[in-house]
Structure 1
């Protein structure tokens, strides 16, 4: 499939190794291709509901840093050295907020956590296949429809 996710100015994508971005993009392509081959609107709707519940990078980082910070404060009541965990978590969250990327982002990307934009691109591509938009041609095979849906989701 042609490259469809290259116009991103997303700081997370730009700091993520190409191989990791490509693996995430290939997962999206495979899901959209599968939906194009099946053509089952009910299955597409169920999959869209699943995408609505998927945690994005920002949510995963916020929850993870909050848990680590809270744990550091809780355990720091007994042994003050645990408070360092709170400081580190807060620092990493600050770095993420200021620069849009940090060490935790890299780890989460390796685990397959996607940005909100990446999740939304897949959602819009599936919605296009489902027929929610008029810009997707119905001619051509499933691969052509999947590619058209991914390209349309970017515009």
Structure 2
């Protein structure tokens, strides 16, 4: 099956193996289909709350890499230089991720099923559309009223 998520400008996704992207897309698609089949607005709301708290690739790296570096520094005080090098290497890889938007650590956390913020948001907005959140945007009224209604719908 060809992916519906072809237009991504996400650097992590662009540099990840296509099989990994297809696996993540298939998961998103199955979740959205399940929600469409169930049609239960309260279940959709609970699932949206779960998605709201899901960690993305960037957050996972920003928290775990400094923790590994700190652990390496602390262990290096007692156990030798090898552990201190772990801290330096992980911080260098985090710097690479920050400068380029991707890196070996990004691919590593994606193998664990961690998604990009854009992938999480795509699923959220698909479920919000199923829930009917965007039907509240009136066709009548001026551009300002439509813009305000769209902003309110996007926040719900």
Alpha-carbon shift at residue 84 of structure 1 (Å): 0.6
Q: TM-score, normalised by structure 2?
A: 0.83
Matches of 1:15 and 1:35, distance apart in 2: 30
Q: TM-score, normalised by structure 1?
A: 0.83
Identify the residue that residue 47 of structure 2 maps to in structure 1: 47
Alpha-carbon shift at residue 79 of structure 1 (Å): 3.0
Q: Does 1:71 align with 2:71?
A: yes
**CA deviation digits over 1:61-95, x for unaligned, max 9?**
11110111110111122134121111011101001
Alpha-carbon shift at residue 2 of structure 1 (Å): 6.5
SS at match of 2:129: helix
Alpha-carbon shift at residue 134 of structure 1 (Å): 2.4
Q: RCO higher in 1 or 2 (8 Å CA, sep ≥ 6)?
A: 1
| CA root-mean-square deviation | 1.7
Matches of 1:90 and 1:79, distance apart in 2: 20
Alpha-carbon shift at residue 54 of structure 1 (Å): 0.6
- Give structure 2 stretches of 5+ with no counterpart: 137-156
Greater Rg over alpha carbons, structure = 2
Number of residue pairs aligned between Structure 1 and Structure 2: 136
Identify the residue that residue 28 of structure 1 maps to in structure 2: 28
